[in-house]
A and B are shown apart, each in its own frame.
With several copies, the nearest count.
Chain A
């Protein structure tokens, strides 16, 4: 069966170019078997090999005093003090979620959680970063509903709280929703596990779910190997089993405690193939496996199918010789499948046998480090000049700014995300010290004074209009969100969602985004410890906006000093830190009210941003603030509203009086960077002003927290005034209203 001739058509169906195929033949010194062709095909795919992105990713800063493990492992690891390490990473599951939103999103959650506990960490939280087309379209509502239910279905069941995230709506995502999930775990610093095989003769153990014919993409050809029925039995969608993964998680953590586990890797994309060759390559050894010993869900699976299956909830581990019994016993206790399927060998090859016959034998490095790398051509997109030619003089103020404000409160991109996060168990494990609705999620570390803060950010419209600066703003906003929650930003992860890398204009935006992230991360001292690249987010020629999502982790030294965004007491002074410029390009307001998706996007001065963050940290550290919220999408008016609505008291309101010689809409809705709204008792106002002055951050007393009446006055007239309860109502229920 294996002797099926490899034809050019077969090669093409495996998404390999003729040149790549020649390279395979040269590496092996012979024609590959069909199984080998399949293995090369998945390992050299964009998804596994990063062949288009690798040359660019090298420019990201990945080192720093806190970094224990940077990119290259299952997840990044950073030191969080007192012998503990945080393990975190973000992953995309965009394409599967479009095909089947519930299962696509669910298995995305399952996959990233495995990446975390495979490193020896107990996962403590997830965040989800989502993008959909406009909700006017029933198909997009269906996708949102399914994706949120899928994330909830998996995360809630496995018992890991989904504590935050973000969601944006834009037409470019209509045929390509984005589903990115970040998972964060905590481990003992000295008990991190790596995906590395070692010790010739050590057994290799397969644990978890049985292998089925799930998600085998490679070949759809009618060939001798695959008869009609096996085609039909090959589901394109994997079904997640969070219960199984919960058992796997507990069993793995228990197995790690024995000291018998030497290396472990989860089977995600490219399943058994990927874990086998990567573990071998990292350890500089080889791995020999026998497919007959692999637990299988169905009969008659071919080596091709077993090696390429993407069945979920599976792991591969190497164990100290002689101690396999102990490990198998633990998995049995948790009612899980576990079997010794091979051993570590000296040759650096992936050696696969079935029925005593060798079905694949490939040098590990040919599949990993030596996989093709492309310097794809780059070309600055022509659209950029056109969309960055906004002339504010030609932009009329809307008839009623109050009306515009109400529309913004109800806008899908700005309204409350309650409908989403209430479907997520965001409290399980009892660590969530800042609930969703804040700038960042805060997780206490039981038994310690310190806590972790985590957020995801990425405004696709910004990066579409200005890839480099947009990416820098994403990093800046992520840091700012953490700082506003009282944290010190530590390190970042990133998920880069782009259309086809074969389009030079896309590749140019990709390169720009990398440079933007690199520059900003270097400036803020937040190295990138891992991430994910998702290309080919385009359907029928329609491309998504380039959408980098930054996940940022920070530490709060004293959890009691965490900060939230809610106004606390009527009478408190409300201050605006930072400078408001006449900037409307790229804003939510410009698109919502004027129907314009135009730049230039807000300026970002890294030094000013650092000053703002430094000032805010000092104010929070000194215990001066009652609330703190960064100003982002929707501008100052939205930020003020957020601070009111975040209070459990529905009558909490604010009255501000602004005086500035700028367009009124820019003052209210402009998205100038490096700003924050803070509130504090009057007695602290002087010290706040002094700290701001020290950091050269403009600081203006703009109003007071009030009760019932929400009012914004500008240059002597009232722009907005209403009963806060009715405004709050618009904002809280908007998503529900749109969706039901």
Chain B
């Protein structure tokens, strides 16, 4: 099984990286882009025989305690059968 975890900066927390990317994008002439936010993306591989509930619980906990600093970041995740 595969879990995808997305970690993004909370609204209200300045994202200088996103800003820089946005500037680069603009200077390349893509005027359409209004905003860029940069986050992190994780793929976790779990054994195929893990029960979905258990997987959900494990991934949630890992995302909350390890992958995210909840002072500045939010996360969400998806599970996918292999």
Q: Which A residues form the contact surface with B (CB < 8 A)?
A: 99-100, 102-103, 209, 212-214, 232-241, 243-244, 297-298, 311-312, 335
Contacts and interface: CB of A to CB of B under 8 A. Distances in A.
A241 B72 contact: no
B13 interface: yes
A237 B71 contact: yes
Contact of A212 (B14, B69, B71, B72): B14
B16 interface: yes
Contact of A213 (B12, B15, B19, B23): B12
Interface residues of B, number: 14
Nearest to A103: B72
Nearest to B23: A335
21 contacts: A102-B69, A103-B72, A209-B14, A212-B12, A212-B14, A213-B12, A214-B14, A233-B12, A234-B12, A235-B10, A235-B13, A235-B72, A237-B13, A238-B14, A239-B14, A239-B15, A241-B14, A241-B16, A243-B16, A297-B14, A335-B23
B31 interface: no
Contacts of A241: 14, 16, 19
A239 B13 contact: yes
B71 A100 contact: yes
Interface in B57-71: 69, 71
Contacts of A102: 69
A131 B9 CA distance: 29
Contacts of B71: 99-100, 236-237
Given A311-B14, A312-B14, 7 more contacts: A213-B12, A214-B12, A214-B14, A233-B12, A236-B71, A239-B9, A239-B72
A311 B13 CA distance: 10
Interface of B: 9-16, 19-20, 23, 69, 71-72
Nearest to B11: A233
Nearest to B10: A235
Most buried by A among B11, B12, B15: B12
A233 B72 CA distance: 11
Nearest to A311: B14
B20 A243 contact: yes
Nearest to B16: A241
A214 B10 CA distance: 12
B48 to A, nearest CB: 17
A242 to B, nearest CB: 8
A257 B6 CA distance: 45
B65 to A, nearest CB: 11
Contacts, number: 44
B20 A235 contact: no
B16 A239 contact: yes
Nearest to A146: B69
Contacts of B20: 243
B23 A232 contact: no
Q: Is the interface of A mostly helix, strand, loop or mixed?
A: loop
* B interface SS class: loop
Contacts of B19: 241
B11 A232 contact: yes
Contacts of A232: 11-12
Contacts of B72: 100, 103, 235, 237, 239
Contacts of B23: 335
Contacts of A236: 71
A213 B9 CA distance: 14
Q: Which 4 A-B pairs have the closest CB atoms?
A: A233-B12, A241-B16, A239-B14, A235-B13
Contacts of B11: 232-233
Contacts of B9: 239
A238 B12 CA distance: 10
Nearest to B12: A233
Given A99-B71, A100-B72, A103-B72, A235 B12 contact: yes
Given A243-B20, A335-B23, A100 B69 contact: yes
B71 to A, nearest CB: 5
Contacts of A99: 71
B70 to A, nearest CB: 10
A216 to B, nearest CB: 11
Contacts of A213: 12
B82 to A, nearest CB: 17
A244 B12 contact: no
Nearest to B19: A241
Contacts of B13: 235, 237, 239
B23 to A, nearest CB: 7
A665 to B, nearest CB: 39
- Looking at B16, B20, B23, the one whose CB has the most chain A CB atoms below 10 A away is B16
Contacts of B16: 239-241, 243-244
A298 B10 CA distance: 14
Nearest to A100: B71
Contacts of A237: 13, 71-72
Contacts of B12: 212-214, 232-235, 298
A100 B69 CA distance: 9
Nearest to B27: A335
A209 B71 CA distance: 22
A237 B19 CA distance: 18
Nearest to A234: B12
Query: Taking each of A233, A235, A244, which has the highest tally of chain B beta carbons within 10 Å of its own beta carbon?
Result: A235
Contacts of A298: 12
A335 B71 CA distance: 30
B35 to A, nearest CB: 11
Nearest to A242: B16
Nearest to A138: B27
A718 to B, nearest CB: 43
Contacts of A234: 12
A244 to B, nearest CB: 7
Contacts of A335: 23
A297 B72 CA distance: 17
A594 to B, nearest CB: 34
A218 B48 CA distance: 38
A214 B16 CA distance: 14
A239 B17 CA distance: 11
B25 to A, nearest CB: 14
A642 B11 CA distance: 47
A212 B23 CA distance: 18
Contacts of A239: 9, 13-16, 72
A647 B80 CA distance: 56
Nearest to A212: B14
Residue with the highest number of chain A CB atoms closer than 10 Å, among B9, B13, B14, B19: B14
A677 B26 CA distance: 48
Nearest to A244: B16
A249 to B, nearest CB: 15
Contacts of A103: 72
A722 B12 CA distance: 47
Nearest to A209: B14
Contacts of A243: 16, 20
B66 to A, nearest CB: 11
A103 B71 CA distance: 10
A335 B14 CA distance: 18
Nearest to B9: A239
A409 B35 CA distance: 38
